[in-house]
Structure formats: structure tokens, C-alpha cells
A and B are shown apart, each in its own frame.
Chain A
């Protein structure tokens, strides 16, 4: 008997928790900042309505209909398409290997924040040396002898242990229970941080930089592609997570409104992160005379800029340390609620095909995943290989899978039939516009995202030195080849359940 979500609230918290991740914190704010500020919101909203929401409805509805993860979902469309299903669920496992290393840094900084609060080490005002000690340094991606971060390695054990403990308990006993605590807690804590950030001196300078619209950029097709990519990657679509979560919905559960709520919750978090990050950066620009991009446009913002800002919010080291602890705890929650969904995506697919106890399966994946994460605990792994693998798997492959998924489901299963099923028990109904978007508009835009990403990778390669090109081929294309090879291997194995 297949498990079901115990409540709608639990399902929405789990789905929103899956979509809300560490990427929201630094990806959206800098995408908006670089692409016309407030003007970026226009293509962003269009992308929400024409891409994220229709795809989310599609994944929930199809998952609920098939009552299975991606592998079963694609094999029902056409036997050979099962390979696509396997590639789709391999992606989150690959992403988890390096994502866990980033969550691990949050765990380390939580511990150091407590050390700061107890007066053991004073580091929040100058986090650079601690960050350097934790992540180490390497010459390039091929410098594998540079060493391994024992800090990240130990923290990664903790991260995988947390994933294992939650996912092995299943949907209602593990993921739903934890999401009911984690997701609202994350939202409330981030709102508190945001309100505190807008009160800082100089916050308005940051908000001006983030929201001042430059409408001259709106006609640039690149901005529209960026907005679609942002919305698509941010909502955890096309990696089997939402199909898997949809498959545990009760057969009479709402689909349409739940998809709207999930997407709006994720976007709300995008905006909260935008205000929080740029208010804090505005404060630092005002008080330290730095640039908005002085701390980079990625994880450096969270791990360098925020500790500095926290250290100036109070002169009391206990308060500083506790604030730091709560902030990095937020990052940890955001990361874990996404990583459990990634693990579940693969687990659902594998449990559909193979007759294996959940606990045993989760244990095997967690051990393999930990070994993968250990590679990213190396200095070369964390500082270089992580970005390469993310560029190939996290960008090109996911967008490509999204394109294949929307075309396959829309044209083989049919949008008319799926719309009928999605509407049947939903709070409100979607019209024919949904069919047109999925059949024509969304594939066109996702195709543009795929082409743009490939062009960026190819042009990027031409400007690289020999080591850069070799490491891109080995780690980037190598990972893609391993993923496809493993997917073919799983595809060729016989179904040992009667789910087919």
C-alpha cells in the first residue's frame, strides 16, 4: 500500500521546503541586481506564470495520476523513456554530493558561532581566515594533491546522517514531520532577519541598488532567459522531486492551488532573500566602503558578508555568536529541507522498480552519496570542481531534462487529459491556456535556456587555459557520461515489483 501525505499542509510545507534552498539566498538577489534591478521583476513574474506554475501543476498532476516517481512516470509514457526518468533522478543525487558540502560549511559555522558566543574564538568580524581554513586552497581543479578539508569531511558525515535519519522514515513519518517544523521555522527566522536588516544604516542604499528599475534592459532577450532560468532552477522542477511528492498525494487531493501556493511561497522567499541580502550589503557598503559584489555573487555573501554584518549588530559577543548561530542554522534548515527531497526523488523511483526495503535503499544511497561528497571536501573539489559539476549538471542537464519532460508529457500523455485530471478535485481550475503554454510556449523558452547555457559553456571553454578545458571535460562531461551510463544500467535491470 502506497503511503500518502497525512495532511495538505504537510505536503505544501514539504514541497515548499524542497523548492526553497540555499540558492534562493544568493541566486535571485544577484540575478535581479545584474539584470535591470526592479525591471527584472517583470520577466520574473511572466516566467512564474508561464513556466513555473504550469510545470508544477503538470508534475503534481502526473505524479498523482501515475502514483510513482520519475522512472515509473516516464516508463508509462513509453518503455524506452524510462532512461530519461533514471537520468532525472540521478541529477539530485549528483547535486546532493556537492550541495551537502555547502550545507556542511553552514554546520561548521554554526559550531564556530557558538565558539564566538562562549568567548573561545572571536571570528565573526573577520571570517576570511576561518573560511580559508575550512575550505583550504588549491591551484586548480586538477590539483588533487592539495589536501582535504577535515572540517568539511566531518560535517558532511553529519549532513548525510541527518538526511538518512529523516528519509529512511518515509514520507509521513520522516519528511512530512520534519517539513512541518523546518519550513515555517525557516520562513519566520528569515523574516525576522529581513526586518532587522532593513533597519540597518545604509539598507536603503542596498534596496535602491536591488529595486531601482532599468527598463532599457527589458528588451534584452538575455534578461528574459535569465528570468526563466532563475524561476526554473529555483522551483526544483524536472529533477523528479515534485513528481515523487505528487505521487504520494491522495487521489482526491487538490493539485492546481497547491502548485500556486508552492511557487508563490518559493518566490516570497526569493524576495525575502533579496531584501535581506541587499539591505545587509547596503549596510556594509555604507559602513565599510566596499562594493556590492566585493564578497562575490555566490556563497561568499552568506559565509563572509553576513558574519561581518552580524558582528557589527551588537557589541556583545554572546549576542553576536547567537545571532550567527541562528543565521547559519537557517542556512542548514534551507539546505536540509531541499536535500531530503533530492534523496526522496531517487528513493521513490528506485522503490517503484526494485523490491528493496526503504531503509536498506536509503542506507546504500547515503553511503555512496557520502563518498561523492568526500570528493567535494577536497580543496580542489570544494573550490573548483563543485562549480564545474554545477555548471554542467545543475544547469545544462536540468534545463534539458525539463525540455524533454514537458514535450514528452504534453505530447504523449496529452495536456487535455492531464488538465481534466488536475482540475477534477482542485480548489479552482486551469483553462485551455495551460495546454497552450505547456505545448508551445514553455518548450520554446526552456529550449532558449538550454541553448544559452550551452553557448555559455562553449564560449567559456574557448577563453580557458589548457587545465581549465581538461578539468571541464573530465569533471563536467565526465559526470554527465557517468550519470547517463548509470541510468542505462538501471534501465536494463528487471522490474522486481509489479508497479510497471
Chain B
């Protein structure tokens, strides 16, 4: 495979999979924070 094809594959997969992982991590951390807040109250 050519370098440009490899780069585009990494950029493509990285962006969408990275985007999915980051947004899921944000959702989980907010959920955890909310849970802790609720427990304190």
C-alpha cells in the first residue's frame, strides 16, 4: 500500500472511531459525576 493510502486510512478510521470513543468517554464520565452528586445529596 502507498504511504498516502495508509495515511488516509489512519485519518479516516482514527477520526470516526476516535470521535465515537471520545464522546462515549464523555458520556460515561458525566454519568459517573451525576451519580456521585446524587449519592452525596
Contacts and interface: CB of A to CB of B under 8 A. Distances in A.
B8 A211 contact: yes
B38 to A, nearest CB: 12
Interface-central residue, B7, B20, B30, by most chain A CB under 10 Å: B20
Contact of B5 (A213, A267, A428): A213
B8 A213 contact: yes
Contacts of A267: 16, 19-20
A41 B11 CA distance: 9
A497 to B, nearest CB: 34
Interface in B3-24: 4-9, 11-13, 15-17, 19-20, 23-24
A38 B7 CA distance: 9
Interface in A242-273: 254, 257-258, 260-261, 264-265, 267-268, 270-271
A427 B27 CA distance: 7
B2 interface: yes
Contacts of B11: 38, 41
Contacts of B23: 257, 260-261, 264
B36 interface: no
B15 A45 contact: yes
B12 A41 contact: yes
B5 A211 contact: yes
Contacts of A41: 8, 11-12, 15
Interface in A185-204: 204
A216 B20 CA distance: 30
A37 to B, nearest CB: 7
Contacts of A208: 1-2, 5
A417 B35 CA distance: 29
Nearest to A206: B1
Contact of B9 (A38, A254, A265, A428): A38
A267 B17 CA distance: 8
Given A41-B8, A208-B1, A211-B5, A264 B26 contact: no
A268 B16 contact: yes
A45 B23 CA distance: 16
A330 B13 CA distance: 21
A264 B16 contact: yes
A212 interface: yes
B24 to A, nearest CB: 6
Contacts of B17: 264, 268, 271
A397 interface: no
Contacts of B1: 204, 207-208, 211
A78 interface: no
B9 A207 contact: yes
A268 B17 CA distance: 6
Contacts of B13: 271, 275
A267 B9 CA distance: 14
Interface in A374-430: 427-428
Given A211-B8, A271-B16, 20 more contacts: A37-B5, A38-B12, A41-B11, A45-B15, A207-B5, A208-B2, A211-B1, A211-B12, A212-B8, A213-B8, A254-B27, A257-B26, A260-B23, A261-B23, A268-B16, A268-B20, A271-B13, A274-B12, A427-B30, A428-B26
24 contacts: A38-B4, A38-B11, A41-B15, A45-B15, A207-B9, A208-B1, A208-B2, A208-B5, A210-B5, A210-B9, A213-B4, A257-B26, A257-B27, A260-B19, A261-B23, A261-B24, A264-B17, A264-B23, A265-B20, A267-B16, A268-B17, A271-B12, A271-B16, A274-B12
Interface of B: 1-2, 4-9, 11-13, 15-17, 19-20, 23-24, 26-27, 30-31
